């Protein structure tokens, strides 16, 4: 848990509007793409309200990333820390509804196994996926917390500790990397929900670039097996 304890703002104890207001803001921004179908392997299509689709992108010469849609095959073959069992039951998000040019990574929660989440992004020109396990206990309501990916400050109930098994033997031996991340793994959406005074394309591009860098760093740490 390298980052355990990080991201909680003890200074931000003001009360927020709670999940409903936050969800409403997202819903207003998301509009037509708010409902995303997730199809677990071998099962019928589900439409859980909490599942959000998003995706990966960004033209970063240093990382080799670029805006490029992911196929189901890309997603299934991308995971570096998944068990065979997890891959067999992997739910595929609604990639056909995804606005790829507004995503730094594709992130979604598992509607059948609520403790699991998944992120996939392009890294060195390859789709790279990470399985995340959500901590069972949430943060204390009434305080503010910050997502370590998108750096958005928000009610603590909307941020959760996730742990990712390291790739390879380290992960099989129980070695994990932990970080506080938006509960719905929808960072790409959140950074695009901004106050009017900050609603410049440059500002969003800066946040998107920073978000992608942090996601890359997280994945690189998960993949570091030495
Ligand atoms: Zn976030």
pLDDT tens by residue, 63-74: 434 458 999 999
Helix (H) or strand (E) holding 122: strand 116-123
d(CA 1, CA 8): 15
Q: How confident is the model at residue 97 (pLDDT cuts 50, 70, 90)?
A: confident
Q: What is the mean pLDDT of residues 152-179?
A: 94
What is the whole-number distance in angstroms between the Cα of residue 89 and the centre of ligand 1? Answer: 25
Closest CA to 212 of 98, 57, 100, 83: 57
| pLDDT over 90 at 203, yes or no | no
Whole-model pTM: value is 0.72
Least reliable range by pLDDT among 12-26, 96-110, 145-159: 12-26
Structure tokens of 44?
Answer: 């019928």
What is the whole-number distance in angstroms between the Cα of residue 180 and the centre of ligand 1? Answer: 8
d(CA 123, CA 60): 10
What is the whole-number distance in angstroms between the Cα of residue 42 and the centre of ligand 1? Answer: 30
Q: What is the pLDDT of residue 137?
A: 83
| pLDDT over 70 at 209, yes or no | yes
d(CA 5, CA 15): 20
Closest CA to 111 of 38, 162, 5: 38
- Percentage of the chain beyond pLDDT 90 is 54
Q: What is the pLDDT of residue 141?
A: 85
- Contact present, 153 and 9 (Cβ < 8 Å): yes
How far is Cα of residue 157 from the mean position of the Cα atoms in its chain? Answer: 16
Q: What is the mean pLDDT of residues 102-121?
A: 95
Strands 153-155 and 116-123: unpaired
| pLDDT over 90 at 2, yes or no | no
- Contact present, 87 and 76 (Cβ < 8 Å): yes
Closest CA to 217 of 128, 153, 93, 139: 128
d(CA 156, CA 145): 5
Helices (H), the chain: 19-30, 72-76, 84-88, 168-172, 187-190, 201-223
d(CA 154, CA 189): 14
What is the whole-number distance in angstroms between the Cα of residue 193 and the centre of ligand 1? Answer: 12
Q: What is the mean pLDDT of residues 88-105?
A: 92
What is the whole-number distance in angstroms between the Cα of residue 12 and the centre of ligand 1? Answer: 17
Q: How confident is the model at residue 32 (pLDDT cuts 50, 70, 90)?
A: very low
Mean of all residue pLDDT scores within the chain:
76
d(CA 90, CA 82): 10
What is the whole-number distance in angstroms between the Cα of residue 160 and the centre of ligand 1? Answer: 10
d(CA 33, CA 54): 10
């Amino acid at each position: 848990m390298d980052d355990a304890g990080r991201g909680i703002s003890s200074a931000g104890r003001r009360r927020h509007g709670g999940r409903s207001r936050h969800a409403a803001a997202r819903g207003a921004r998301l509009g037509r793409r708010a409902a995303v179908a997730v199809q677990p392997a071998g099962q019928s299509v589900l439409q859980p309200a909490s599942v959000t689709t998003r995706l990966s992108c960004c033209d970063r010469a240093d990382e080799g990333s670029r805006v490029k849609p992911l196929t189901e095959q890309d997603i299934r073959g991308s995971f570096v820390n998944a068990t065979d069992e997890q891959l067999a039951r992997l739910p595929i998000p609604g990639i056909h509804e995804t606005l790829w040019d507004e995503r730094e990574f594709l992130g979604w929660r598992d509607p059948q196994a609520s403790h699991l989440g998944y992120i996939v992004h392009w890294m060195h020109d390859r789709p790279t996926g990470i399985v995340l396990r959500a901590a069972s206990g949430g943060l204390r309501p009434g305080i503010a917390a910050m997502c370590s990916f998108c750096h958005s400050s928000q009610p603590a109930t909307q941020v959760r500790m996730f742990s990712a098994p390291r790739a390879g033997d380290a992960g099989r031996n129980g070695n994990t990397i932990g970080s506080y991340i938006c509960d719905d793994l929808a960072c790409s959406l959140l950074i695009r929900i901004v106050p009017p005074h900050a609603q410049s394309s440059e500002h969003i591009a800066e946040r998107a670039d920073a978000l992608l860098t942090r996601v890359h760093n997280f994945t690189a740490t998960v993949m570091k097996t030495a």
